[in-house]
């Protein structure tokens, strides 16, 4: 599975990570059951995973607070992506 990963075009062109770098590897780690390593690879993997599950759950069983749930999870995901990107680029 790892041999078919898409390389980051942003990193190839500009030489530094984009805000999504590490997402594919974190997903593979998550599917392998390596939860801690997935978090350290890409901290936004868990909010994005829960967001995806809630979207899929709404397709199967529509629920009342769907829009509020998706909005909150989207804000959490974006905030996590931005904070981890800033931390990775400027602090580490």
Q: Whole-angstrom Cα distance, residue 55 to residue 9?
A: 28
Give Cβ neighbours of residue 26 (< 8 Å, ≥ 6 apart).
38, 39, 41, 42, 45
Q: How wide is the angle at C-alpha 43 spanned by C-alphas 41 and 67, nearest 5°?
A: 140
**What pLDDT, on a 0 to 100 scale, did the predictor assign at position 2?**
67
**The pLDDT of residue 7:** 81
- pLDDT tens per residue, the chain (92 residues)? 667 777 878 888 888 888 888 888 899 999 999 999 999 999 999 999 999 999 999 999 988 889 999 999 999 999 999 999 999 888 86
Residue 19 confidence (pLDDT): 86
Determine the pLDDT at residue 1: 66
- Distance of alpha carbon 73 from the chain centroid: 12
Total count of domains within the chain: 1
- The residue range of the domain holding 51 is 2-91
Contact status, residue 66 vs residue 54, Cβ threshold 8 Å? yes
């Amino acid at each position: 599975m790892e041999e078919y990963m898409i390389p980051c075009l942003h990193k190839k062109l500009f030489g530094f990570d984009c805000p999504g770098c590490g997402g594919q590897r974190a997903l593979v780690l998550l599917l392998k059951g390596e939860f801690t390593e997935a978090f350290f690879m890409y901290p936004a993997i868990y909010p994005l995973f829960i967001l995806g599950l809630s979207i899929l759950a709404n397709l199967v069983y529509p629920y009342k607070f769907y829009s509020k749930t998706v909005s909150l999870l989207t804000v959490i995901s974006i905030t996590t992506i931005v904070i981890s990107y800033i931390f990775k680029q400027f602090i580490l």
